Amino acid sequence: MKTFLLYVATALAEIVGCYLPWLWLKQGRSAWLLLPAAASLALFAWLLTLHESAAGRVYAAYGGVYIGVALAWLWLVDQVRPTWWDAAGVAVALCGMGLIVFQPQIRP
């Protein structure tokens, strides 16, 4: 559960870091949003280092959680209700993430 929550925090940091520049570029909001965006992306990079697996495995598994968090963001922030197709896509992505994270550990 700790690992999953760390993935969720990592995803939120990345989404906020990308959403704030989007607001600036697409909605004409203040360029000052780039400062917290940069801080959020730095936090995102740091959070990725807290995972115990090899970097490539962390990035691959993180993708599944990111998809779920992004669709939650779509619903909660953008006020767009995800479709059943979105939910099915999240389920497939999380199954793939589970295969990566919970694979048997074979030690030589």
Question: How far apart (Å, rounded) are the C-alpha atoms in residues 11 and 6?
Answer: 9
The mean pLDDT value for 92-96 works out to 91
Distances from the Cα of 58 to the Cαs of 37, 65, 89, in angstroms? Answer: 22, 11, 20
Instruction: Please give the mean pLDDT across all residues of the chain.
Output: 90
Q: Which helix (H) or strand (E) holds 42?
A: helix 34-49
Question: How far apart (Å, rounded) are the C-alpha atoms in residues 93 and 62?
Answer: 10
CA dihedral 26, 46, 70, 8 (to 10 degrees): -150
The mean pLDDT value for 15-26 works out to 95
The tens digit of pLDDT for each residue in 30-46 reads 999 999 999 999 999 99
Q: What percent of the chain has pLDDT over 70?
A: 99
Provide the pLDDT for residue 53: 72
User: Where do we find the tokens 């115990």?
Assistant: 52
